[in-house]
Structure 1
Amino acid sequence: MKKIGLLLLSIVFLTTATFGQESKTKEGHTNQNKFKQLKELLPTPNLQRTASGAPGIKYTQQKVDYSMDIILDDDNTRIYGNETITYHNNSDDTLTYLWVQLDQNMRAADSKSPDIQSSQIPNKTSKARFNKSYVDAPFDGGFKIESVLNTDNSNLSYTVNQTMMRINLAQPLASGDVFEFNIKWWYNINNHRTDGGRSGYEHFSKDGNNNYVIAQFYPRMCVYDNVEGWQNDQFWGRSEFALEFGDFTVNITTPEDHMLGATGILQNPKDVFSNKELKRIEEARKTFDNPVIIRTQEEAEKIEKSKSKKTKTWKFYAENVRDYAFASSRKFIFDAMAVDINGKTVMAESLYSKEANPLYGDHSTRAVAQTLKTYSRYTFDYPYHKAISVDGQMGMEYPQICFNPGRPDLADGGYSDRVKYRMIGVTVHEVGHNFFPMIVNSDERQWTWMDEGLNSYVQMLAMMDYEEGYPLGRGLPKNIVRYMAGDQSKISPIMSKGDNVHSFGNNAYGKPATALWILRETIMGKELFDHAFRTYSQRWMFKHPTPADFFRTMEDASGVDLDWFWRGWFYTTDVTDIGIESVKKFYATDDNKETINFIEDKSAGLKITKPKKANSNYFYEVTFNKPGGLVMPIIVEYTYDDGTTERKTYPAQIWRYNDKQVTKAIHSDKQITKIVIDPDLETADVDVSNNSFPREKKDKFSKFKTKMKN
């Protein structure tokens, strides 16, 4: 089959003025072109952040070290802590005060977080929800600050503003100086299963035990940088965290019969593990194919039947991490396996109760291992020594440890595919957060998509690696269509703060993941995208990137101008809707002179007179229109009268002179019988009813319904 001459004549018919303006008057206008450069929306490059998107020669960031002694009081479900914070002022600025995050204060009795939520009296509600919503006395949460001291034990002035605490320095902290102080505190741990929260405990009434997944449990320093100054936005419960890197020395005292996992390298394994467990750990370090059980279900069930009155202390050291978390319970089963990351052995581990078995035993540690492999391939080699998945019955992430959902749901103790894939998907996602933002350390509080969206995209690649035919959900273009085509009053641009958007999951996870998927699969191609994405990841390891750094790096490393894409997908709520407005058929005739005449064929039976030495018998004008606001490539499949098909992709720049309508002149040696735009649903087109010629009589989502069924 001959290729159709899609560039013959190369005619683009314009119906509006240059820059897409419809005015025919002599009045001027501003540049509203969809391909206008993004420069006016991005911050001016400087010596800290370059125009290429890389850190500059003057880039700096602060360092914060923590030394903590923690007591987990299982009888009273309470945490006691005594921490020393060492703050390194690596900036060029002199600081007169420091800001500390008190995230637990979101659960304080006088918290303002519930007050910013609208509420109504329902017609009816469950007793459990009633008892939770209409309590006489709220949960007594929040940090109880016992003291804030200088190193000489003198009182240090401080001011608490809800979830933030300002440390009032007696003397300014000059550039290059270090300040050390101490905070002593405690708080009541929340039951996250009944009261919600990103950490807490789960109570098992049958055996009287608790599973603890503990995070945001210590006062943590805010980020100070040259972009925002102090990143001290209040924590309202949704948008997450901005944190500095540092070294952690942490001692955690628990009941003697607890099994514990935490951020950092365990310094005293012989004090906390039995000899049998130590031998199994050594075996796991050499086993790369299947998890090794360190503490079996039988052993865990025996331990959980009685509660030890003795305690033991777990001692950890974590270098160059931005946060700290741990999980502890006498119920935990423990398994682990080794993972080869380009010759370096990393441990994939899981902690889970019997209630989560066999689901966790079958998939948790394997999912951890696959995540480390896939993410390392597309970003950078995982730099830490381990990654732990914990049966925490939520989805939350911290350096080297995360808390995940999933328990058997069938009567025989087994689990459905729905539960299996949800558990694997969340585990991959939360382990993946080790890369974004635990290492590529963006400001989650302000730019949720920079960790959730990027992570959701790489998660798709890892899930496909985990199992052939893995049923992907979020991230595929067809799955974001209903959101993008929805009520515009409830849709925000991706470049919005997470606290202020209606559909948080679609805005911060789904749409940005879809955008990256489209960039890789449709616009840039795998090779260019992968190189640019890897470049961004490696440039900003253990640093604080901004959206501009990401946008600039992706263009700098690929040589692809993507300003039109960032502007449309990230700064607006425009949608993709490209259609076929009309198709005209022509025939060419030789007038026996020096010219060829093209005459529109308006009758199906018109005989075509082929000119001498002509390579084509059939000529067409196809006019594409764009009811949607987004400019995107036009992906077209042409079907011929002999049943063969051909694909052609017109780059998005085809809309550069007129983003409402373009016409292409086409010639072929065979007759076109059908034309379809975006046949594989690559562009998140919100209305496919105008995507074909001849027109198919279907509702605008019918094509998506068919695809989703399959």
Structure 2
Amino acid sequence: MKRIIYALVAAFILGGSAFAQVERSNHGKRFEQLERMLRDPSVYRSASGAPGPQYWQQKADYKIEATLNDENQRLDGYETITYYNNSPDPLDYLWLALDENKYNPEDDSYKFDPSSIRPRMTYGQIDGLDGHDNDWGFHITEVKDAKGAAMSYIINQTMMRIDLAETLEPGDKISFSIRWWYNTTPRDDSGNRGGHEYFPEDGNYIYTIAGWFPRMAVYSDFQGWNNKQFTGRGEFALTFGDYDVKMTVPADHIVGSTGALQNAKSVLTAEQQKRWEQAQKEFVEPVKIVTLEEAKENEKEGTSETKTWHYKAENVRDFAWTSSRKFVWDAMAADIEGREDHPMAMSYYAKEAYNLYERYSTKVVAHTLKTYSKYTIPYPYPVAISVEASNGMEYPMICFNYGRTLPDGTYSEGTKYGAIGVIIHEVGHNFFPMIVNSDERQWTWMDEGLNTFVQYLTEQEFDNNYPHRRGPAANIAPYMALPKDQLEPIMTNSENIIGFGSNAYAKAATGLNILRETIMGRELFDFAFKEYAKRWAFKHPTPDDLFRTLEDASAVDIDWFIRGWYFTIDNVDIAIDDVKWYKLNTQNPEIENPIAKAEDELRNTDIADSRNREEGLKFYVEEDTRLQDFYYSYDEFEVTEESKRAYQRFSASLSAEERALLGGDKNFYEIDFSNKGGLVMPIIIEWTYVDGTKEVEKIPAYIWRKDEDKVTKAFMKDKEVAQIRIDPYRETADTNEDNNYFPRSSKPSRFELFRFGGGAARGQSTGSNPMQRANGGN
């Protein structure tokens, strides 16, 4: 034993540790199989990436009654939760999420983020410098069991633990109730996803009610309770269940919600009910259930009377709703392949967004459902709603978006595409993570990245000229080229990411796009991605399950790509270092000797000799001819009869294929490539020939497996090459395209004179725009 220890010590002293040797190697790191970095398969999660034979997940059903007070912007609620322990573990306590407590003045999230003084700051930003004294966050007034007895609980910031009087055994269920209230927050000041927005012009509010009730945390096979605190960034990990919810609001409010409306006759006028029935048969143009004129009349009224809207939702992981007297409401049916019934695409929006949302919103919702269904599973829920709320946030069947016009009703093209993009994105979240229910608290990229990827596909099918913000590989290259201290791997917890949008949204989405377009191909990738969605619909997948499924369903080894793109901060920078051009020696003296003579003269060119001849200098060997021997007139490149006969004998010894190769005048190119960025990638080469034609060929990334830093590859071409370029379609996110050419090519970069504009509601058009100018505006 001592000998072994001494040997190990000596190895480290001499610098001979196995680990150090691997690090110094120029290969073997990036192509190691990914399995050693993933969780071991189990009876709950198979090595194929599918749910295992004993996969389980918990269930939580809710019955909720809530009252919205429009006078003081307060929400009161009472809920009964029935929790089913489908796990093999006995549970002595339950954890619930109180996300609204993130806005409590005592929450740690006000303290652990750096802050600074900016040239322009809102009241909320200033007030937050020393916390705030607003009465925000949950007020829990009672927690009782099914028999009405008080239950013991403790609140730790955004999490609440309920201690059980009796152990909840596997297979058992428990029911308990919670009574609570909180003051809804002004979203602009609080930064809350839910809350309210006030419109001083007409004295009304739009309420976006989200994270509004105590919700069961996830208890899973891979981590037990997910009771990580909510700090505002890492979003929600929630349990599927059924909801029965009644919301009492002012009688002139319109409510949009997760789920299906149960009491349309008691909350809608007879005319609105007819329009609702008509909308369910309309597939081309949305039907306005509440018109602009009716919404404007509602804005003027105000009432002390109330109505109760009743919604039910099955197999959802959350529940959100919106309420306002400002809403126009329109709807149409969406034709989804694989469904005999038709889900309803709907929108709620105020007059401030009318000219944008009336034209685009509901049609974009329907288009999104159709496209996402093609790439994943048929949309399973009865409705999908887009609400214009100067926001961007998603919940089952309902999302809050932005996109408002200028007061004259015009809008910029940027605002238009911004609104369409956010609607696609937030509606798309119905699939990721509302259906394929990944853990947002741990892995933001699993919902935001996957969703942004399918958003990109949906934008492509919406308009061939769509100005994509995220998805094309070239768009992420500037981020990946940043200094390493500003980067972190995609596989980083949400709270620790600096470039949040670029990392968790754009880079994660771009990786899937590169897999689809460049590495796996569309057919293989689309099948595998769809298989992942089918396997994990209404379940809780992890990154391991995604990675394994993509390989399992495609037979493409992508471990090297997943390792580099998702687990490191390497970037793509493949360079052409050198190109050598060769011609095959035909050994025919009539062809080769003149070429060799010309090359010899070029090699022996001397400026002094040339000038001596030009000046007429008399050379000694010319003045004294006795100095001119055999070699003075000998021409080593002369084509002799003997050399011709030797070539004829050589040619006769060749096969027909060899003679054709010698006579084909082929061009041979040897290219030296280097991997300067560290991230291996296929080498895609565009050959431009002297005659102007082009050819593109792809070398798989495996070319780097034996040397991850430098590789040389030889090519045979029929034509002479004028230029060589790698990554011509900009599909690998190469961060330095200047070294992609041989010979080198460059062009000037352009920059703009820019003036920063003032603030406005999120997504609202600002300043002049071509539409406004065309209408006679400034």
* TM-score (structure 2 length as normaliser): 0.84
Question: CA–CA distance in 1 between the matches of 2:602 and 2:587?
Answer: 21
Deviation, 1:642, is 1.1
1:571 aligned residue:
567
Q: Is the 8 A contact 1:637 1:646 kept in 2?
A: yes
The one of 724, 727, 731 equivalent to 1:682 is 731
2:44 aligned residue:
48
Q: CA offsets, 1:20-78, max 9 Å, x none?
A: xxxxx987534843110011100000110000000011000000000111101111100
Classify 1:603/1:112 alpha carbon distance in 2 versus 1 (closer, same or farther; 3 Å): farther
Q: CA offsets, 1:530-570, max 9 Å, x none?
A: 00000000000000000000000000001100000000000
Q: CA offsets, 1:423-462, max 9 Å, x none?
A: 0000100000000000000000000000000000000111
Over the matched positions of the two proteins, sequence identity in percent amounts to: 50
The yes-or-no answer on 1:191 pairing with 2:240 is no
The letter for the 1-side match of 2:576 is I
1:102 aligned residue:
98
Question: CA–CA distance in 1 between the matches of 2:160 and 2:283?
Answer: 46
Question: CA–CA distance in 1 between the matches of 2:211 and 2:124?
Answer: 26
List runs of 5+ in structure 1 lacking aligned partners: 1-24, 704-710
Question: CA–CA distance in 2 between the matches of 1:605 and 1:377?
Answer: 64
The yes-or-no answer on 1:385 pairing with 2:432 is no
2:328 aligned residue:
333
Question: CA–CA distance in 2 between the matches of 1:135 and 1:435?
Answer: 39
Q: Is the 8 A contact 2:124 2:190 kept in 1?
A: no
Classify 1:261/1:127 alpha carbon distance in 2 versus 1 (closer, same or farther; 3 Å): closer
Q: Is the 8 A contact 1:132 1:195 kept in 2?
A: no
Classify 1:126/1:248 alpha carbon distance in 2 versus 1 (closer, same or farther; 3 Å): closer
| More moved, 462-471 vs 179-188 | 462-471
2:372 aligned residue:
375
Question: CA–CA distance in 1 between the matches of 2:688 and 2:326?
Answer: 62
Q: Is the 8 A contact 1:38 1:563 kept in 2?
A: yes
The one of 337, 341, 345 equivalent to 1:344 is 341
Deviation, 1:603, is 9.1
Deviation, 1:590, is 3.9
Deviation, 1:626, is 1.0
Q: Is the 8 A contact 2:144 2:176 kept in 1?
A: yes
Report runs of 4+ in structure 1 exceeding 3 Å deviation. 25-32, 124-137, 590-593, 596-599, 601-607, 609-612
The one of 537, 540, 544 equivalent to 2:536 is 540
1:168 aligned residue:
163
Question: CA–CA distance in 2 between the matches of 1:675 and 1:336?
Answer: 54
Q: Is the 8 A contact 1:263 1:324 kept in 2?
A: yes
The letter for the 2-side match of 1:633 is P
The yes-or-no answer on 1:405 pairing with 2:452 is no
1:295 aligned residue:
290
Deviation, 1:665, is 1.4
Question: CA–CA distance in 2 between the matches of 1:527 and 1:83?
Answer: 47
The one of 642, 660, 663 equivalent to 2:691 is 642
Equivalent residues in 2 for 1:220-619, closer than 5 Å? 220-342=215-337, 343-409=340-406, 412-591=408-587, 612-614=659-661, 615-619=664-668
Q: Secondary structure at the match of 2:342?
A: strand
Question: CA–CA distance in 2 between the matches of 1:331 and 1:120?
Answer: 37
The yes-or-no answer on 1:632 pairing with 2:629 is no
Q: Is the 8 A contact 1:582 1:624 kept in 2?
A: yes
2:765 aligned residue:
none
Q: CA offsets, 1:649-680, max 9 Å, x none?
A: 00000101111111111122221111000011
Question: CA–CA distance in 1 between the matches of 2:352 and 2:483?
Answer: 41
Q: Is the 8 A contact 2:686 2:697 kept in 1?
A: yes
Question: CA–CA distance in 1 between the matches of 2:76 and 2:264?
Answer: 23
Which is greater in Rg?
A: 2
2:704 aligned residue:
655
Question: CA–CA distance in 1 between the matches of 2:582 and 2:274?
Answer: 81
Q: Is the 8 A contact 2:125 2:189 kept in 1?
A: no
Q: Secondary structure at the match of 1:486?
A: coil
List runs of 5+ in structure 2 lacking aligned partners: 1-14, 604-636, 638-646, 652-657, 752-778
Q: CA offsets, 1:151-193, max 9 Å, x none?
A: 1111100011110011101111100000111100000000113
Q: Is the 8 A contact 2:471 2:510 kept in 1?
A: yes
Q: Is the 8 A contact 1:263 1:400 kept in 2?
A: yes
The letter for the 2-side match of 1:663 is T
Classify 1:539/1:137 alpha carbon distance in 2 versus 1 (closer, same or farther; 3 Å): closer
Q: Secondary structure at the match of 2:193?
A: coil
2:5 aligned residue:
none
Deviation, 1:317, is 1.1
Q: Is the 8 A contact 1:635 1:650 kept in 2?
A: yes
Could you say what the CA RMSD is over the residues aligned between the two structures, in angstroms?
2.4
Classify 1:127/1:565 alpha carbon distance in 2 versus 1 (closer, same or farther; 3 Å): closer
Q: CA offsets, 1:64-98, max 9 Å, x none?
A: 00011110111110000000010000001101111
Question: CA–CA distance in 1 between the matches of 2:677 and 2:388?
Answer: 44
Q: Is the 8 A contact 1:283 1:292 kept in 2?
A: yes
The letter for the 2-side match of 1:158 is Y
The letter for the 2-side match of 1:352 is Y
The yes-or-no answer on 1:147 pairing with 2:194 is no
Question: CA–CA distance in 1 between the matches of 2:600 and 2:409?
Answer: 68
Q: CA offsets, 1:500-533, max 9 Å, x none?
A: 1101001110001110111111111110000000
Question: CA–CA distance in 1 between the matches of 2:309 and 2:294?
Answer: 20
1:13 aligned residue:
none
* TM-score (structure 1 length as normaliser): 0.91
Classify 1:174/1:488 alpha carbon distance in 2 versus 1 (closer, same or farther; 3 Å): same
2:616 aligned residue:
none
2:623 aligned residue:
none
Deviation, 1:135, is 7.3
Q: Secondary structure at the match of 1:341?
A: coil
Q: CA offsets, 1:599-656, max 9 Å, x none?
A: 9x9899899x998422343222111111111000000001111111111100000101
Q: Is the 8 A contact 2:60 2:84 kept in 1?
A: yes
Classify 1:639/1:130 alpha carbon distance in 2 versus 1 (closer, same or farther; 3 Å): closer
Classify 1:80/1:129 alpha carbon distance in 2 versus 1 (closer, same or farther; 3 Å): closer
Question: CA–CA distance in 2 between the matches of 1:473 and 1:639?
Answer: 30
The yes-or-no answer on 1:80 pairing with 2:127 is no
Classify 1:136/1:44 alpha carbon distance in 2 versus 1 (closer, same or farther; 3 Å): closer
1:182 aligned residue:
177
1:9 aligned residue:
none
Q: Is the 8 A contact 2:109 2:231 kept in 1?
A: yes
**Relative to total residues, which structure has the larger helix share, 1 or 2?**
2
Question: CA–CA distance in 1 between the matches of 2:248 and 2:408?
Answer: 38
2:775 aligned residue:
none
Q: Is the 8 A contact 1:256 1:311 kept in 2?
A: yes
Classify 1:257/1:489 alpha carbon distance in 2 versus 1 (closer, same or farther; 3 Å): same
Q: Is the 8 A contact 2:124 2:188 kept in 1?
A: no
Give aligned pairs, total.
673
Q: Secondary structure at the match of 1:480?
A: helix
Classify 1:619/1:27 alpha carbon distance in 2 versus 1 (closer, same or farther; 3 Å): farther
